[in-house]
Amino acid sequence: MPAPTIAVPVEGRIRVRVRYCECDPMGVAHHSAYIAWLEMGRTELLREAEVSYADMEAAGILLPVTKIEIRYRAPVRYDEVVEIETRVVGGGRARIDHAYVVRNSEGRSPVGMVVAEGSSTLGCVGRDGRPRPLPEWLAQRPAKRAKAGRRD
C-alpha cells in the first residue's frame, strides 16, 4: 500500500444525526450506536489523508479493536445531531490509542454539552491474525513521538 501524500491528522470532528434505527423504544440513542459513531470518527481521520480503511485491508493491514470504553453522560434522542471529536492520544509499534468526546450539536440538550466520552485501542495484525508493525506513515504520528522510549 502506498503511503498517503499528506499527513494523517491526529484530531478530527464529524457530525452525525441520530437515526431512528439507532434508538430504543423511548427515542433515546441506544448505547451500541456510540460504538459505530466512534468508528466513523476514526475512519474519517484516515479519509482526510485520502486513505481508506478498505484499501488498508486490501493491502493486508487490519486494525481490530482490542479495547473500547464509553462513559455515557446524558441521553441523545432521535433526530438530534452530535459531534464526535476523535484524537490520537498514543500508540506503539503495533497499536493506536484514540480518545473521543461526543457533544450535543443540535437538539434538546444544550449545544456543546458532553454526552459521552470514550477511548479505544486498535491493534495492527496481518491477514493471518498475527500482530504486525503499523505502516511507518501511520506509526510516525506526533502523538506517538511524544511517547518515545515506550516499548510495545
Domains of the chain by residue range? 14-145
Q: Is 50 or 103 the better-scoring residue by pLDDT? A: 103
So what's the pLDDT on residue 143? Answer: 42
Mean pLDDT of the chain: 90
Asked if residue 71 has pLDDT above 90, the reply is yes
Asked if residue 150 has pLDDT above 60, the reply is no
Task: Tell me the mean pLDDT in the region 85-106.
Answer: 96
Domain 14-145: assigned CATH number: 3.10.129.10
So what's the pLDDT on residue 13? Answer: 97
3-class state of residue 129 by DSSP: coil
So what's the pLDDT on residue 135? Answer: 92
Asked if residue 144 has pLDDT above 60, the reply is no
CA distance 12 to 141: 14
C-alpha cell at 29: 440513542
CA dihedral 130→136→142→147, nearest 10 degrees, is 50
Percent of the chain whose predicted confidence (pLDDT) is above 70: 91
CA distance 2 to 105: 36
CA pseudo-torsion sign 20, 24, 26, 29: negative
Asked if residue 139 has pLDDT above 90, the reply is no
Query: Tell me: the pLDDT tens digits for 17-62?
Result: 999 999 999 999 999 999 999 999 999 999 998 899 999 999 999 9
Burial of 88: CB neighbours in 10 Å, binned 0-12, 13-18, 19+: buried
